[in-house]
Amino acid sequence: MQLEKLSVLEQSLNRLIDQYTRLKEEKGVLERSLREASGRVAELEDEGDALRQERDAIRERLGRMVEMIERLEALDAGEPGTPE
């Protein structure tokens, strides 16, 4: 009777060890996956920042070009002898 109980306990411990080992492996896989995802998020954030900076620079340059066109139009409109 005692040996049967020890056998059941031993089997339970073996299952527990197997589950623990499997969970530990899964944890490692999940941690690696999380690190990779976090790295990708950081890359995408950097890319987004660069795109925002580029967008702002383009807006600024377009604004200057619009001002230049307006100045040209004002100069053209101010010339004597030019029909309006």
Model pLDDT, residue 83:
53
Model pLDDT, residue 80:
62
Residues 6+ apart with CB under 8 A from 82: 76
- Altogether, the residues listed in the chain come to a count of 84
Model pLDDT, residue 27:
98
Model pLDDT, residue 3:
87
Model pLDDT, residue 45:
98
Residues 6+ apart with CB under 8 A from 76: 82
Instruction: Please state, in angstroms and rounded to a whole number, the distance separating the CA atoms of residues 68 and 4.
Output: 95
Model pLDDT, residue 57:
98
Model pLDDT, residue 82:
53
Nearest to 17 by CA among 30, 3, 25: 25
What residues of the chain score a pLDDT lower than 50?
A: none
Instruction: Please state, in angstroms and rounded to a whole number, the distance separating the CA atoms of residues 58 and 66.
Output: 12
pTM summary value: 0.60
